[in-house]
A and B are shown apart, each in its own frame.
Chain A
Amino acid sequence: MTVGTASRSEALFAALRRLTGDEKHQPSSHSTVDVLWVLYSRVLNVAPDQLDDPDRDRFLLSKGHGPQAYYAVLATLGFFPIDWLDDFAGRDSRLGHHPDRTLVPGVEISSGSLGHGLGLAVGTSLGLRAQGLGQPRVYVLLGDAELDEGANHEAIAYAGATGLDNLTAIVVDNDSATHGWPGGIASRFTVNGWTSSTADGRDHDAIEDALRTHGPHQPHVVVARVARKGS
């Protein structure tokens, strides 16, 4: 890790503490923070000065709950002023408990109700493909409990059957689905023709490797394992 990236991640943790006012818990209490940081600092071709660039990668946060880590990453990288973090969900705040794309620069979809992001990601992937935009990739982040929503399974089956290879789903798995996923989460995708990688959701190099292993003619899923809540 270079000095530059070390100071950037310190800035991220400062942003997260500023947003939550929580000095006690470590940033790792946010299940998505490491995946988000690896995406934005190492993988995604997005920047504050290319918000409308058709060739930018698209990151869609489907799991709109607990968006503090997402806001902290975007603010740290300059998508919006850092002082927006000081009024989380206030009456004039642009940052609420679920993100709104019309209020926050860099947020590609408004989310909160579970099970909408993967379908929107499939549509985005199809729209890029139909316009001959072969460079950008669509990444969508879900939670393991979010997969309870049946709409996800409409999207998983369709994307696999049609070989939507500009799409990567990331499932942050902290064992929070009430009835679990016997046989594992990856198998829900691979049985429908997706490729999959499973990574330690705290290991930045492993996350990056998993995100970069996609191939042609198949959508890819990354299962990022993190500890169960409260454990």
Chain B
Amino acid sequence: MRDRFVSVVSTLLDEDPRSALVLADISAAAFEPAARRHPDRVINVGIREQLAISVAGGLALTGLRPIAHSYATFLVDRAYEQIKLDLDHQGVGAVLVSVGASYDGSTMGRTHMSPMDVALIDTLPGWTVHVPGHADEVEPLLRGALHHDGPVYLRLSTARNLSPYADAGRMTVIRPGTPGGPLVVAVGPMLRPTLAAVADLDVTVAYTHTPRPFDAAGIRELAGAEVILVEPYLAGTSSREVSKALALVPHRLLALGVGRDDLHRYGTPADHAGWHGLDAAGLRRSITAFLG
């Protein structure tokens, strides 16, 4: 996904004179050819993420459409007040593009993990959040994001599904179950382990790569009495949205995602998926226990 991001943004910089890219050293080498072609619109501020977001805000104030990029933990967690004040409070938007989703950087430890990025962005109003599950979903999401001036967070991961669903901006049924039966909503790259986990269960599996704005109408249309959320970031991030969408409908909700604890462990992303119960076996255990 990161390679696709580099190639698509390099093309967009050629096509759209309003586009500008703000880097904080991360991925700077990959963008060198684009920087040579557009020295005024490819801006590497060095290892200064607070400045990167403030610069994005300043660029937007002059009418440009900035894309700011780094590891999720530096781009969002570290620069949260800049996102809140230098973008939102100024009334301007930007496209923030992160790599290092949740525990993608597992070997680097907790300092390079951010399972809470979407929850932090979700404290702010009006954001679009894209969590693509496949590299082929990245280009249409980026092109769409450049067509308006609102705030967008695009969360890239090394985890990926077997197939792209580029049109899955809203709840998209991937595998229908008995109507009115349990609904499993998989966000981004969680679709692959989710499908494996429920292969022989009578559940409907819906997918989206765009958890914000949340497709409340889609949930109301598809949900029966049991809803299971499977998100690749902090568990429960979208519980509030499901509760709001189904406020008038009796339902039970199981919200699966990354746990809050700092495990103080390295290993592979697959190891962490197992420890957080997000591999196929773990998801299956949680889902069958919930459905009883």
Interface residues of A (CB under 8 A from B): 54, 100-102, 108-110, 113, 116, 118-131, 133, 150-151, 154-155, 157-158, 161
Nearest CB of chain A from residue B22's CB, rounded to whole Å: 8
Do A130 and B41 touch (CB < 8 A)?
Answer: yes
| Interface residues in B, total, Cβ within 8 A | 29
Chain A's closest residue to B24 (CB) is A154
Do B51 and A158 touch (CB < 8 A)?
Answer: yes
Do A154 and B89 touch (CB < 8 A)?
Answer: no
Beyond A130-B20, A130-B40, A158-B45, whether A123 also contacts B55 by CB under 8 A is yes
Q: Which residues of A contact B90 (CB under 8 A)?
A: 101, 109-110, 120
Chain A's closest residue to B50 (CB) is A151
Interface residues of B (CB under 8 A from A): 20, 40-41, 43, 45-46, 48, 50-51, 53-64, 66, 81-82, 85-86, 89-91
Do A122 and B64 touch (CB < 8 A)?
Answer: no
Q: Which residues of A contact B82 (CB under 8 A)?
A: 116, 119, 151
A interface majority secondary structure: helix
Cross-chain contact of A124 among B40, B45, B61, B91 (Cβ < 8 A): B61
Do A122 and B40 touch (CB < 8 A)?
Answer: no
Q: Which are the 3 A-B pairs with shortest beta-carbon distances?
A: A123-B58, A119-B54, A127-B62
Q: Which residues of A contact B91 (CB under 8 A)?
A: 101-102
Q: How far is the CA of A128 from the CA of B86 in the complex (A)?
A: 17
Q: How far is the CA of A158 from the CA of B46 in the complex (A)?
A: 8
Cross-chain contact of B64 among A116, A127, A151 (Cβ < 8 A): A127
Beyond A119-B82, A158-B45, A158-B46, whether A127 also contacts B54 by CB under 8 A is no
A-B contact pairs, 19 of them (CB 8 A): A54-B63, A118-B54, A119-B57, A119-B58, A120-B55, A120-B61, A120-B90, A122-B55, A123-B54, A123-B56, A123-B58, A123-B62, A126-B40, A127-B59, A127-B61, A130-B64, A133-B62, A154-B51, A158-B51
Q: Which residues of A contact B60 (CB under 8 A)?
A: 123, 127
Do A154 and B40 touch (CB < 8 A)?
Answer: no
Do A116 and B85 touch (CB < 8 A)?
Answer: yes
Q: How far is the CA of A120 from the CA of B63 in the complex (A)?
A: 13
Cross-chain contact of A123 among B48, B61, B81 (Cβ < 8 A): B61
Do A125 and B40 touch (CB < 8 A)?
Answer: no
Nearest CB of chain B from residue A125's CB, rounded to whole Å: 7
Q: How far is the CA of A109 from the CA of B86 in the complex (A)?
A: 9
Beyond A120-B58, A128-B62, whether A110 also contacts B85 by CB under 8 A is yes
Chain A's closest residue to B62 (CB) is A127
Nearest CB of chain A from residue B51's CB, rounded to whole Å: 4
Q: How far is the CA of A133 from the CA of B63 in the complex (A)?
A: 12
Do A124 and B62 touch (CB < 8 A)?
Answer: yes
Q: Which residues of B contact A101 (CB under 8 A)?
A: 90-91
Task: Select the residue from B40, B58, B66, B82 with max chain A CB neighbours within 10 A.
Answer: B58
